[in-house]
């Protein structure tokens, strides 16, 4: 298996003598995909929907250039990370030659450009030519309509505003009900989407849903200091007692 950043080590980076294959950039975040990466999707040995995840407008992500968590102005499609981590799904720590990249031949543009000690090449390309999920699934049809409806009901900018109201006043029923309605819509949209998929395991179904609809609200509400728990009677209870990471949700 190729070593981590081998393209950098044996290509641009070796010449610059800058990449020491520490693996840190692949542990901190995954690359957003650009127009140049579209050809990788669906090609033999390339990327499939199960390898991708959409981060929606307003969602907190790690900005690789600034090195901070910041809300997105526009959605991005990124390589999937490992569960409960920002580490790239393709990072192989046991490749026998230090950390390794499991998609070296088909690594995305940002992987080729990112040099820890010289962020200039990545910074130059970072925000230009990024693709959205509609570039992958198409702008028309049932999936595109589901994405539009989901964004309408579960948009992060609106949810951040409702979360802020709830943090200001824990008895704000309208805020709690609006957020819970979004949670239910999100779960239902995933059921509809995955119900149309061909035979595949549950993990892959969830991964395709994360590509088409972003990460589940049940996971991402924590950025607003919110959490949900299912009660014994099946009802979902919303709690607003967590740490608020998202700036728009802070009172």
Among 9, 26, 33, 146, the residue binding ligand SF4 under the rule CB under 6 A is 26
Q: How near is the Cβ of 232 to ligand SF4 at its closest, in Å?
A: 41
Q: How near is the Cβ of 99 to ligand SF4 at its closest, in Å?
A: 8
Q: How near is the Cβ of 208 to ligand SF4 at its closest, in Å?
A: 19
Q: Contact between 5 and ligand SF4 (CB under 6 A)?
A: yes
C-alpha closest to that of 192 among 172, 176, 208? 208
Of 156-175, binders to ligand SF4 (CB under 6 A) are none
Q: Contact between 76 and ligand SF4 (CB under 6 A)?
A: no
Identify which of residues 115 and 183 has a Cβ nearer to ligand SF4 in the complex. Answer: 115
Among 47, 111, 223, 244, the residue binding ligand SF4 under the rule CB under 6 A is 111
Q: Contact between 40 and ligand SF4 (CB under 6 A)?
A: no
Among 32, 88, 179, 244, the residue binding ligand SF4 under the rule CB under 6 A is 88
Question: SS3 of 248, please?
Answer: helix
Among the listed ranges 24-32, 35-43, 162-170, 235-243, the one in contact with ligand SF4 (CB under 6 A) is: 24-32
Among 37, 75, 90, 115, the residue binding ligand SF4 under the rule CB under 6 A is 90
What whole-number distance in Å separates Cα of residue 35 and Cα of residue 136? 11
C-alpha closest to that of 89 among 103, 75, 110? 103
Let me know: does 132 contact 75? Beta carbons within 8 Å. Answer: yes
Where would I find the beta strands (DSSP E) of the chain?
52-55, 60-63, 68-71, 76-79, 91-92, 100-101, 227-230, 236-239
Q: Contact between 30 and ligand SF4 (CB under 6 A)?
A: yes
Q: What's the token pair of residue 245?
A: 């990471």
DSSP, residue by residue, 150-161: HHHHH-HHHHHH
What is the distance between the terminal CA atoms of the chain, rounded to a whole angstrom?
49
Q: How near is the Cβ of 31 to ligand SF4 at its closest, in Å?
A: 6
What whole-number distance in Å separates Cα of residue 77 and Cα of residue 75? 7
By CB under 6 A, the count of residues binding ligand SF4 is 13
Among 3, 19, 31, 80, the residue binding ligand SF4 under the rule CB under 6 A is 31
**DSSP structure class, residue 12:** I
Among the listed ranges 33-41, 42-50, 84-92, 239-247, the one in contact with ligand SF4 (CB under 6 A) is: 84-92
Give, in order, the Cα–Cα distances in Å from 191 to each of 93, 157, 188. 34, 24, 5
Q: Contact between 2 and ligand SF4 (CB under 6 A)?
A: no
Let me know: does 231 contact 237? Beta carbons within 8 Å. Answer: yes
Binding interface with ligand SF4 (CB under 6 A): 4-5, 26, 30-31, 79, 88, 90-91, 101, 103, 107, 111
């Amino acid at each position: 298996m190729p070593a981590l950043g081998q393209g950098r080590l044996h290509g641009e980076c070796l010449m610059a003598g800058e990449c020491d294959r520490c693996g840190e950039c692949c542990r901190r975040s995954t690359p957003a995909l650009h127009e140049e990466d579209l050809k990788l999707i669906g090609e033999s040995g390339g990327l499939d929907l199960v390898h991708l995840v959409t981060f929606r407008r307003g969602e907190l992500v790690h900005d690789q250039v600034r090195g901070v968590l910041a809300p997105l102005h526009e959605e991005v499609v990124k390589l999937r990370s490992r569960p409960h981590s920002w580490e790239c799904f393709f990072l192989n720590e046991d490749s026998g030659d230090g950390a390794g990249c499991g998609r070296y031949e088909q690594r995305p543009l940002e992987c080729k450009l990112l040099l820890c000690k010289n962020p200039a090449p990545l910074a130059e390309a970072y925000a230009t030519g990024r693709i959205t999920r509609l570039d992958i699934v198409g702008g028309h049809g049932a999936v595109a309509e589901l994405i539009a409806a989901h964004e309408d009901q579960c948009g992060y900018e609106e949810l951040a505003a409702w979360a802020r109201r709830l943090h200001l006043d824990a008895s704000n029923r309208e805020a709690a009900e609006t957020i819970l309605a979004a949670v239910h819509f999100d779960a239902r949209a995933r059921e509809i989407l995955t119900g149309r998929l061909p035979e595949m395991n549950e993990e892959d179904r969830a991964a395709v849903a994360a590509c088409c609809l972003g990460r589940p609200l049940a996971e991402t509400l924590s950025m607003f200091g919110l959490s949900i728990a299912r009660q014994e009677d099946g009802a979902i209870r919303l709690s607003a007692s967590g740490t608020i990471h998202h700036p728009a949700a802070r009172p």
